[in-house]
Structure 1
Amino acid sequence: MTKEEQFWSRFLELAQLQLKDSAYDFFVADSKLVKVDGDTATIYLDGNYKELFWETNLKNALITAGFEIYNTDLKFHFVFEDLPNSHHKDSRNSSLNSSSSSATEPLPKIETGLKAKYTFDNFVQGDGNIWAKAAALAVSENLATTYNPLFIYGGPGLGKTHLLNAIGNQILENIPNARVKYVPAETFINEFLEHLRLGEMKTFKNTYRSLDLLLIDDIQSLGGKKVTTQEEFFNTFNALHSDNKQIVLTSDRSPDHLDSLEERLVTRFKWGLTQNITPPDFETRIAILRNKSEDLDYIFPNDTLEYLAGQFDSNVRDLEGALNDISLMAKVKKLKEITIDVAAEAIRARKNDNTQMLVIPIEKIQDAVGAFYGVSVKEMKGSRRVQNIVLARQVAMYLSREMTDNSLPRIGKEFGGKDHTTVIHAYEKIKSMVETDDNLRLEIQSIKKKLN
């Protein structure tokens, strides 16, 4: 075995130990060592979007393998295939044109259903969606050769629809004559039933089975429908997949929990790659808000963005809705700068489901919690890890988040300058404990009554 082979084998071994199987398969399995020349290793990656992952997550493994085999500090240079560029476009277009021209009759015109505003460039990446975005990029560069189908799942408002549209828009930019269709599953159902009623099933089948890329949103909506509807989608899926055409699906749950769909459909959904999207973390929410606020005619100071990011942590749609509420208020009041007070007033109804938020100072919450648990406010603001102090501190942070308009950084500041991540941890921990610990739930209810 040559030194190059030893180096690469050792690196792959370290990478497998470090990464989850899914990450290794996606980011590493298709890479190759081109050569080691002097103190530089040239590595081939099958997409330039993978370079950041390697630099962030695999640098130590590369350095370690380099020292072990070459006893030197290797530098690393990445190269990429040219298929995603002009050569890929030309060969793909040729394939599409020949397919169309050989048809015995003209293919039906299609409405893509895509929204041009959704692109990869304005999709804000974070820890909760990095894998899904990477998979979507891979599909948009190599249709039906990377992951087919690609199945993306997660709660509402997390960016699944954005990614579907981004894939479609990217493909049409690279391959203008590609046959692409984005459609919610509910629309697919309605179109099928309408064509069935009118006796025009040939047109329906020709439309869907001639696609190069089918993007289906909210596939869980297909569950519970008539057998004929699922049967038609099953046949459409099979026709496209067997013809090496790309299918991308989204759902609010994983394939394993699509109980109302036929097993044979669910099995096919697992043929490719399944990726989850989780709610954005605090930093990602700030980035999303900053990105979206740039399109508005108002100034959003950093502390206002931090406040808003602390108020909505479930999905992106809530953040967008909050910005819409704020824009309306700013327009009515002719405001230019959005302060925390303005933002708090604008989102109050949305945040509290039309109930009035209690205006309670954090100091009052700290006093009430401290009195209940026999802990001083000074101890709560300190860093001691004694059990009763930690519990009191976390309960006070939880209530500060639940019962006030304050942002996470502001709450942290009131607890001795704690980082906002400490507040998030405390909130999530108490929130989780309350669901299973009846005693803690009663304790918190008792404290709340004293604060009302």
Structure 2
Amino acid sequence: MSQEQTFWNRVLELSKKRFKEQIFDYFVLASKLLRVENQQAIIYLDAEVKKMFWEENMTDVILTAGFEIYAIELKPVYQFSLEEEVEEKLFIPLTETRGNYEISPIITLPPIQTGLKKKYTFDNFVRGDGNQWALAAALAVSENLATTYNPLFIYGGPGLGKTHLLNAIGNQIIENFPDARVKYIPAESFINEFLEHLRLNDMDTFKKTYRNLDLLLIDDIQSLGGKKVTTQEEFFNTFNALHNDNKQIVLTSDRSPDHLDSLEERLVTRFKWGLTQNITPPDFETRIAILRNKIEDLDFTFPDDTIEYLAGQFDSNVRDLEGALNDISLMARVKKLKDITIDVAAEAIRARKNEASQMTVIPIEKIQTEVGNFYGVSVKEMKGSRRVQNIVLARQVAMYLSREMTDNSLPRIGREFGGKDHTTVIHAYEKIKGMIESDDNLQLEIQNIKKKLK
């Protein structure tokens, strides 16, 4: 085996341990090492969209493997062609395929309103620890419809960017394929449209519209729960028609598929066929980045200390930050102000701040201590890797409460538990949340721990 092959095998080995299977398969496995020369690892990526992932997540992997195999620091260099010169990107006619995906021709089909909001793009989506994997999945889908993750299911609380990502996917596809049949619609509007066509006895038009799409983007799919059987039946048939025809479906929800209790099981099962990704509240640094991004369009000056003040006041979602900026803009226009000081910002958001439900600031260390005391487990054991039953339960309960009672990002919570991966935190949260629903004793135990924390 050559030294280059040994190096590349080590890169793959380290990556496979770090990332979950779907991420590894899409972002890493399809890549190739072309050569190692002049202290550079020349790496082929089959899609330009993957470069961001490699730059942010693989540099240290290459560094580690480089030192192990070559005893030098290797710098990664990426190219997107197997030839020495990168070929010019060709426009793909709609009658041809891109990967395994083919855009449907628009023949005798009803006209379609995309419903897309053009302001939402990948370029203006602010990436952070809480949304990086959802963003990576959305980018992957926009690069290769129906060949990567189908469906893609994104869930999280309100105001965290789910709608932004849905629209960004749609806008990217329209930019690449102007004649693609793309439809963004909230689930509630889908229901109303279905019922209206049913009332008018015009279901043929409804079916032709939705079952001949290239990309269906459904927002807040949880709204479909509790509706009439016929409504869920129609969406079930629409989902099947699109999926069977290799067309892309992307869904968002305020909860994971496992907790969509009011939806039929056969629908929930299909939602889990592809990839499920969670979005969590933005951390402090991400909130600052979001604010900087949004104040670019305002005619006011925001000093750094004002931005940091605002980032500290609203920590649950992006909509609170947007609302705060609207309040400040209104006051600044009325008072003809140009510079937004902390005092100005504080006065402008006072009413909103008083109304906002602020999360109690509880250190993760305190949660670990209280949970440990309750279950007779030390914090050191909780941060370790032992799989003894009582330690595992205490660890998972502490992770669950850290997510429930603090605004820390998943990666941050993982770091506080001995450097666990964010997927471990998600698993612990979902596991305890599911157990609470069927285990009254565990529910009482967690309630008692919460009382001690408040």
- TM superposition score category, shorter chain reference: 0.7 to 0.9
Residue correspondence of structure 1 range 377-416 to structure 2 within 5 A: none
Q: Is the 8 A contact 2:103 2:180 kept in 1?
A: no
Partner of 2:187: 185
1:202-258 CA distance string (max 9 Å, x none): 000000011111110000101111111111111111111111111111100111111
Q: Is the 8 A contact 1:114 1:165 kept in 2?
A: yes
Q: Report the secondary structure of 1:126's partner residue.
A: coil
Alignment of 1:165 with 2:178, yes or no, is: no
CA distance in 1, matches of 2:252, 2:354: 30
Q: Report the secondary structure of 1:233's partner residue.
A: helix
CA distance in 2, matches of 1:312, 1:145: 38
CA distance in 2, matches of 1:225, 1:70: 62
Partner of 2:105: 100
RMSD: 2.7
State the AA in 2 paired with 1:175: F
Partner of 1:4: 4
CA distance in 1, matches of 2:239, 2:230: 14
Alignment of 1:254 with 2:241, yes or no, is: no
Partner of 1:33: 33
Quote the offset at 1:49 in angstroms. Answer: 3.0
Residue correspondence of structure 1 range 13-412 to structure 2 within 5 A: 13-37=13-37, 39-80=39-80, 86-87=89-90, 89-92=91-94, 94=96, 99-100=104-105, 103=107, 106-353=108-355
CA distance in 2, matches of 1:146, 1:261: 25
Q: Mind listing any 5+ residue stretches in structure 1 that lack a counterpart?
A: 356-420, 426-432, 442-452
Quote the offset at 1:76 in angstroms. Answer: 2.5
Q: Is the 8 A contact 2:122 2:168 kept in 1?
A: yes
Quote the offset at 1:10 in angstroms. Answer: 1.8
CA distance in 2, matches of 1:311, 1:74: 43
Q: Report the secondary structure of 1:42's partner residue.
A: strand
CA distance in 2, matches of 1:282, 1:61: 27
Given the two structures, how large is their TM-score scaled by the length of structure 1?
Answer: 0.74
Q: Is the 8 A contact 1:219 1:250 kept in 2?
A: yes
Structure 1 residues 81 and 213, CA, compared in 2 at 3 Å: closer, same or farther? Answer: farther
Structure 1 residues 16 and 100, CA, compared in 2 at 3 Å: closer, same or farther? Answer: closer
Q: Is the 8 A contact 1:84 1:142 kept in 2?
A: no
CA distance in 2, matches of 1:354, 1:291: 23
Quote the offset at 1:16 in angstroms. Answer: 1.9
Structure 1 residues 69 and 306, CA, compared in 2 at 3 Å: closer, same or farther? Answer: closer
Moved more, 260-269 or 201-210: 260-269
Q: Report the secondary structure of 1:275's partner residue.
A: strand
Q: Report the secondary structure of 2:58's partner residue.
A: helix
Moved more, 113-122 or 17-26: 17-26
State the AA in 2 paired with 1:121: D
Q: Is the 8 A contact 1:132 1:277 kept in 2?
A: yes
Quote the offset at 1:27 in angstroms. Answer: 2.5
Structure 1 residues 238 and 289, CA, compared in 2 at 3 Å: closer, same or farther? Answer: same
Structure 1 residues 440 and 144, CA, compared in 2 at 3 Å: closer, same or farther? Answer: closer
Q: Mind listing any 5+ residue stretches in structure 2 that lack a counterpart?
A: 358-411, 417-445
Give the % identical residues.
Answer: 72
Structure 1 residues 98 and 145, CA, compared in 2 at 3 Å: closer, same or farther? Answer: closer
Q: Is the 8 A contact 2:141 2:148 kept in 1?
A: yes
Moved more, 90-99 or 158-167: 90-99
Quote the offset at 1:12 in angstroms. Answer: 1.0
Larger radius of gyration: 1
Partner of 2:428: none
Q: Report the secondary structure of 1:352's partner residue.
A: helix
CA distance in 1, matches of 2:450, 2:64: 47
Quote the offset at 1:436 in angstroms. Answer: 3.0
